[in-house]
Each structure stands twice: as structure tokens, then as C-alpha cells.
Structure 1
């Protein structure tokens, strides 16, 4: 894969969060970029506003002629694209250079120092913190993010080519295409069992990823994971750990214990111990790369977060509305911990849209347990994404398992009315499907009311 010989890059699934970051990267590097996606979205509209050619029909007649030259066109696709996709099969069958997104990302990272963030939870937030820290410390960094950074209003930080920061995605074993210089593993909870079959196979693959690190590279692991490396944690005996944690004006203030000493009074503005843990590992990787602690402290205090990661939509005395991407029981537990820590005396309503039939089936008891902790629960139908229905796997099945009488299965159209009927002071929308599309409507309904 000689990226210098490529003039045109065509994306199949260009609206995906990881795909769109890669598309932005190639356009910034002078390539002609175009693509297909199934439906229009905020991401595709943003790309079109920058001049990207995008269409929404799986039809070769809509592909511009420039992209039909096999010699200088690269085809990039996401594993979420079905095998019977007309365009994908045309390019595969007609001699084009066709690669998965992860393979292209792996090629890009070979040209720089690679810092990779792996784990079943926390990748996007950790990657965006790390990219921001390096950028603010004047490192020439390119960071590919799995979400839209509030600091940069983008999923791409483009400040140079000395360092590349990437999410090392375990889905489809994509992260095995990387050869990082520094890498971390934030968590290895069972997930993607439709790919791995069981938790043991997932753990085995994370171990294989740890072996992809370059010979003189460094692995960072959350304290307690069954891997050897530089450890990090919160208020424990890790190599890097947060100490003397307190909350001041809604922000964490803490000291950082490192192998080189104790550094005091770091400030971090995101709620939740899970986010504080993400900040610690980002600090550890940036410090090991060579960033000075005084610059890191200033950079961390200016970090604003990632859209749909505990994102405040409304924050008034009467109503707090938060939107979060959580789609695994452990992630929902983290959201619950954060909201209870910040709003211990308020009633909390959680609106959850399960993501994937297989994930709902595999973790139904965990979902029921985590959702039961909220004061009131509204459940939407399962968002299928790439899957067909599985018999017996429904939101009603999940609802029946939730041990909380204040629960209801609703349609998306009823969300606003149900919130109005509740006396909750804190409202959460949770999920990785299209529940995020409802956020603007909810916000508008209650912003006008307030």
C-alpha cells in the first residue's frame, strides 16, 4: 500500500465516526476524497460542507469517473458494510486496491511514532484527552478520534506528523494491524461476543495486541488486568495513580503519583471516576513520551470532552439533561456512578436504547442490573445496526428483568411527553444507536419550556 502513489480515496461507509476522520485526513493531505453511506447524518453533512462528494445509493453510476481508475484510487471500507454490497463487490472484483479502515490506519501509523489506546471501554475519551495533551504540549501530532472532540469540533486533530494517536479497536480484531510504540489497555470486559464467541477469546486477542507493540515500546495497563506493563489506577499502588482526589466547583482536583515523584493539583472537568481513570492513563502516556508535567497540568484543565460522552445538553437549577453513548452494562454503571456523585439528592430518569440484538442477548442480566439503579427507566426498542432480529431477544424481555417498578417501554416519539410526565430533575439519554438523533428534539422542547 503506497499511499504516496494514491490520488483518489473512495470510502464505503464514509459517515462512520472512524471512517470520516480518515476521510478528513486524506483530504487535508491533498487527496481527492469521495464516498458512499447508507443514510445522511450530521457527519456526512459536515463532510459535504467541506467539499466531500457523498451519495446515499449503493449504485456504481453515482461514483465519479475519477474514482474508477484502479492505478491511483484507494478503496477504504468498514466491516459494517454487508458482503452483498454492490459497490464493494465491484471494486473487489475489478482489481482495485481495497482495504479495511484498520489496515489503512496501520499503514499511516508506520510513518510516525504511534500511541495506541485499546480497551472495551474508554477508548474515545482517552484518545481525545491524549491527543489534546500532546497538541497543547506543542507535539506535532495527528490524532484519529472515535468521537467529536469538544475542543476541536472534529474527530481529527491535525497538528503534524511526528506522532499518530489512534484508537485500537478490538471489533473484528482490527487493532492487530497496528505496531504501536506506546499502547494502553483500559479494560477487557466481555463484549463483541458475536465476533469472539466468549470472554476468553477476547482476552486472548488483547494479549495478542500487547505483543504487537514494537520491541522497545511500552505497554500501559489498568491495575488489575492480567497483563504485564506500566500500571495506572485511582488511589492505589499503580505506577501512575490519582491521589488526594476532591471535587471543587464540579471538577476533580487531584495529585498524580508517578515513578518520578508526586505532582500536585491537577484539574479535570469531566465527571465520573471512569473519566478520571481515562485522564490518568492519558497523562501517563504523554509523560512517558516526554511532555513536562507543568504543561500537562495546564493542558488537562482545558480539556472539554467528547460529544455524547456525558455531554450536558441542559444544565439549569430545574433540569439537567445529559446525553451519553454508553452501550454496555459496565459503561452504564460508570454513567450511574458519575451522575450520583454529581447529583446525589436528585431524581434521575434514564432513557436507554439497547444496541444490537446479540449484545442485548449476551448481557441482558447485566443491563437489567445496571438500569435498575436509576430512579426511573424508559426503554426503547433495540437498535439493530448491522444485525437481523434474534427470536425472543426484545426490549420487553429486558424490561421484564429490570428490578425497579418505575419502568416503561416506549417509542421514540413519546420521549418528550414521558419526560414531561416525570418529576425527575436529571434526565439521561443513553445508547449507541440513533437515540442521539432525538437529543436535539428533547433539548429544544425543554429549553423553550425553561
Structure 2
């Protein structure tokens, strides 16, 4: 039986309903019987998937889109104060709630499992959703990316577990009270909201303080920020702390990660001393560690380790996380969401490991002026792992330009690191540029958190014409 829908969520209106986080909440509410409506800047497969479920989705933002009987308005941190629908809601006295509050309300009465960290949240949340589903546990879940089809980022399940991606970018993960929480890593990012690592640590400490008494914190043993956080929360004795990783002192220790093309075989030592080997169907050591975090969390929820390990092998990836888009003229095109230097390095190392001597070419689109200002040098250094790369202009998302902050910061750093890199200001020119660079056997990565993902099909189409 579905938990009761809060009164404010009976007829909700979502501003920016097509976004990854917003669409998931809208989908679950629709499946629970709410009359959902919303708007987005442009039409999309996600918007069409919501309409197919019965939601009303308007294109463009207009006060007239807010229904006269709307019981609440849901917004994300990306919605500006002058949005006409938000202004109309405030003038009419319609309750306005943040996306995180809406998600928190969906978890009430269930056993929440929240996945946090600077990187890897979407993958780890997806691994848990897929594996728990394959075990017949019918979890509810809300993920920051689609598994295999538009709208697959969320599901209202009939089971008692709710798996949620817990976003630290705007501190919204402070709203959740999980039974089990995963912290994959702790690094400085989201520079518009955090001024220092100390602020990041404070924010994650607040998240950990929200774990229910008797619950469990699963946290990385290998990453410096996570280890510091473990030390900082050591005084909390009403929760269990389980560490995982390759460090000798890890509670669940990664003994071996054997790459096999686009998959890996992982061997871990459990807390009872037993060794367990299972397959991860995505390449790269970091994805193997994500799977071990998921394994540790499932064990903390009371699931049998061997069953869960086998179920994790059914996970085959999530959109934009080293997703193979296709092959043409002997060239494979792969899409990567990586936009932080740590993510970029991890994905490029994973692809190099799977490439078996093939050249790796990257089309990189920086995401956010603030991130480029703070981490542009490190982004350029990461791109040096590629055999050739093209850097697009910065994707601004919700930000206004910062004087002097352009893609040239990344390009200069990449060249200083020895990378073969070129600038391209015209996104539409990329298919032709790649067609001139790529040779049979090459791997092409479209990389970034913006609309660079849309280039994959166009690149494949242009490469296909080389064969004709």
C-alpha cells in the first residue's frame, strides 16, 4: 500500500519538471495517485514519459500554467525568484516547497537508503535500485539519471525500501533521515554554495547526524575526505560505521579488481572473514568501488551478501555513465557525465583500461563558470589522459558569466600538461571536427554535464557517412 500523499502534494505543480531530480518525484507522485502538473523550458523525452503516465506538462514558463486548484508548487535550487509561475504561486498563497522536502515526504513510513558523495551517487543509487529489484524487493527509488529509458530515474515500488540519491550541492540532503547512508567521497565542489572544505565537512556532518538511531553509515576508507569525515563523526555511538575500500583497515576490504574489457571482477573480504567474488558490468576501478559500497549498504539493510552480490551483476549501467551510444566507421562513441576533475580522470582511466591500445578522443564541455574558475587547471590536466580533445565553451546552467572565466583556462592547462587540445566555439561543427580526427578503432567520449550528450548521435551519423 502506498504511503499517504501529503495534502500539499495532492495536486502539485513542478517548475522545471523535466529535470532529473524533479521528474523522479513527479513520477512517483503520479504513480501514487496525485494529479501532477508542471512546466519546463523545452520538450524532452522525460516530459513525454511523464505525460504518458498522466501528468500535465507545459512547455515554457508562464503564470497561466499554474492551475487554479494547485495545492503546492515544487521548485529546485535552479529556479530563479522571478520565475512567473513561482511569483504567481506566492501571490496566490500556494505553498512552495523545495524538491528535497517533497522527496523527504515520499520516504515517510519506509526504510530510506540515501547515497551521498561528491561523485558516484547516481551510479551507486542505480546499482542498488536494480539489484534490489532483481531480488524481488520492489524498492521505490529516485535517481539523478535514467537507467535505460526516459523516466526510468524513479519508481514507486511496493516494497519497504526507498533508495534515494542524496544531493549535497545545495545542502538538500540535510532533509533526509535515512536508515542507511552511504558516503562515497568528500571533495570540494559546488563553489557557488561552498566556500571551503570546512563548509563541506560541516554539511556532510549534518547529513550523517540525520541517520536514524540504530542505523548505519557506509563510508569509503580510501578517500582522504571520507576518512576525515569518519574521524569527525566518531563520537556518534547510536549508529554503526562500516568502512569499505582497499585500505588494510577497511571493514569490507577490496582485495582485487580484475578488468575484463567493459566489465570487472571484484573480490572482497567481508567482515566475517569470508571472501566474495562478483562481476560488475561496467568498466573502471571507481565503478567497482561503487558496487562494493552498494554491497555494504545492502548487507546493513539485512540482505544476504551472496544474493546481493549476484544481483549487483545484473546492473548494466545508467545513461551518461560511460554509456556506449553506438559505433560507426569502426569508431565507438561513448557518453560520459564527468565534469569534475576527479570524475574526468576516473572515466578516462577506465576507458583507457578498456581500450586495449585504441586511441581515446574527447569532446569536453565545461559545466558552470564557478567550477571552471576553481578547477579549470585540474580539468585540463585530466584531459591530458586523452590522445586528443576538443573543448567547447562553458555550459552555464543556472549561472551568469564570470569575467575572465572561459574554456581557455582549461585549454591552457591541458596544453601545459602535454595534451593535444583544440577549442571549438560552434557546437554544431563537432561532428565534422570528429570525422576529421577519428580513425577506425578509436574511442570518442562526449564528456560533461551539459548538452554535450546531444552530440553523440550527430557524431555517429557523420561517421556513418564516411562508410557510404
TM range (shorter): over 0.9
1:55 corresponding residue in structure 2: 58
Please state whether the residue corresponding to 2:141 is helix, strand or coil. Answer: strand
Residue 156 of structure 1 and its aligned partner are, at CA, apart by 1.2
Cα 1:395–1:7 shift into 2, 3 Å: same
Q: Which piece of structure 1 moves more, 437-446 or 335-344?
A: 437-446
1:70 corresponding residue in structure 2: none
Q: Aligned equivalents of 2:69 and 2:349: distance in 1? A: 52
Please state whether the residue corresponding to 2:264 is helix, strand or coil. Answer: strand
8 Å CA contact retained: 2:134, 2:314: no
Please state whether the residue corresponding to 1:169 is helix, strand or coil. Answer: coil
Whether 1:3 and 2:15 are equivalent positions in the alignment is no
Whether 1:108 and 2:95 are equivalent positions in the alignment is no
4+ aligned runs moved over 6 Å, structure 1? none
1:165 corresponding residue in structure 2: 163
2:451 corresponding residue in structure 1: 434
1:148-227 matches, within 5 Å, as 148-150=146-148, 154-224=152-222, 225=226, 226-227=228-229
Q: Aligned equivalents of 1:8 and 1:405: distance in 2? A: 53
Cα 1:248–1:393 shift into 2, 3 Å: closer
Q: Aligned equivalents of 2:465 and 2:294: distance in 1? A: 39
Q: Could you tell me which of 75, 78, 86 is aligned with 2:76?
A: 78
8 Å CA contact retained: 2:328, 2:464: no
Q: Aligned equivalents of 2:365 and 2:202: distance in 1? A: 30
Q: Which piece of structure 1 moves more, 296-305 or 42-51?
A: 42-51
Q: Aligned equivalents of 2:273 and 2:129: distance in 1? A: 24
Report the TM-score when normalising by structure 1: 0.94
Residue 235 of structure 1 and its aligned partner are, at CA, apart by 6.8
8 Å CA contact retained: 2:389, 2:421: yes
Cα 1:50–1:274 shift into 2, 3 Å: same
Q: Which piece of structure 1 moves more, 254-263 or 273-282?
A: 254-263
1:399 corresponding residue in structure 2: 411
1:258 corresponding residue in structure 2: 270
8 Å CA contact retained: 2:16, 2:41: yes
8 Å CA contact retained: 1:314, 1:447: no
1:14 corresponding residue in structure 2: 17
Residue 211 of structure 1 and its aligned partner are, at CA, apart by 1.0
Q: Aligned equivalents of 1:133 and 1:209: distance in 2? A: 25
1:5-404 matches, within 5 Å, as 5=7, 6-67=9-70, 73-150=71-148, 154-224=152-222, 225=226, 226-228=228-230, 229-234=241-246, 236-248=248-260, 250-315=262-327, 318-403=330-415, 404=418
Q: Aligned equivalents of 2:296 and 2:61: distance in 1? A: 45
Residue 447 of structure 1 and its aligned partner are, at CA, apart by 4.3
2:236 corresponding residue in structure 1: none
Please state whether the residue corresponding to 1:321 is helix, strand or coil. Answer: strand
Q: Aligned equivalents of 2:393 and 2:445: distance in 1? A: 17
Cα 1:304–1:405 shift into 2, 3 Å: closer
Q: Which piece of structure 1 moves more, 309-318 or 372-381?
A: 309-318
Cα 1:127–1:393 shift into 2, 3 Å: same
Please state whether the residue corresponding to 2:170 is helix, strand or coil. Answer: helix
Residue 153 of structure 1 and its aligned partner are, at CA, apart by 6.5
Q: Could you tell me which of 401, 415, 423 is aligned with 1:409?
A: 423
2:235 corresponding residue in structure 1: none
Q: Which piece of structure 1 moves more, 236-245 or 103-112?
A: 236-245
1:233-282 alpha-carbon deviations (Å, 9 max, x no partner): 14744111332332346421222211123243311110011111100000
8 Å CA contact retained: 1:110, 1:179: no
Please state whether the residue corresponding to 1:290 is helix, strand or coil. Answer: coil
Q: Which runs of 5+ in 2 are unaligned?
A: 231-240
Q: Aligned equivalents of 2:316 and 2:23: distance in 1? A: 21
Q: Aligned equivalents of 1:99 and 1:244: distance in 2? A: 45
Q: Which piece of structure 1 moves more, 172-181 or 398-407?
A: 398-407
Report the TM-score when normalising by structure 2: 0.90
Please state whether the residue corresponding to 2:321 is helix, strand or coil. Answer: coil
Q: Aligned equivalents of 2:260 and 2:274: distance in 1? A: 20
Give the root-mean-square deviation of aligned CA atoms.
2.0
Residue 161 of structure 1 and its aligned partner are, at CA, apart by 4.2
Please state whether the residue corresponding to 2:136 is helix, strand or coil. Answer: coil
